[in-house]
Amino acid sequence: MTRPAPPAPPAPDPNGWPAGAAGQRPRPDSPPPPGQMAVVMAALSIGLLLMRVQLWLLTVALDLYLAGEGPRTWSLALASGAIFLGGLLMLVVLRRRPAGPPVVVAPPEPPLPARLGAAPQPAAGGRRR
């Protein structure tokens, strides 16, 4: 007795997204499109670097404050606050982007006579010359 052959896997999307219904987001356990992991790792590295710089700025500002140099600490604290606000801005910008590939909407089809090359019919109730 022979077993039927398993169905062939669906062809990948030309944009690199896993196969699926058009306009649907890929499942969470599906692999990311090519190049997506590099972008995520670069963003994570930049975010971690900025957090280190922010922590260093706050540490130096606190050290200067405890040494009695209060007026010099404000510029460092403001720079740290600017880094924090930049991180919040990036979160807002990234949440506004669509999560999947753009959905392509086909234009509506013209009425049948226009597709066949016939002259268009006047609208009902329209005047004829």
pLDDT digits (tens, 9 = 90+) for 67-111: 998 888 889 989 999 999 998 888 888 777 665 666 667 777 766
- As a whole number of angstroms, the distance between CA 111 and CA 106 comes to 15
CA 2 to chain CA mean position, Å: 47
Round the average pLDDT of the chain to a whole number and report it.
75
Q: What residue spans define the domains of the chain? A: 36-97
Note the pLDDT of residue 10: 60
**57 pLDDT band (50/70/90 cuts)?**
very high
- Least confident among 58-62, 101-105, 113-117: 113-117
Note the pLDDT of residue 99: 59
| Amino acid letter, 60 | V
CA atoms within 13 A on the CB side of 98: 8
1: which DSSP letter? -
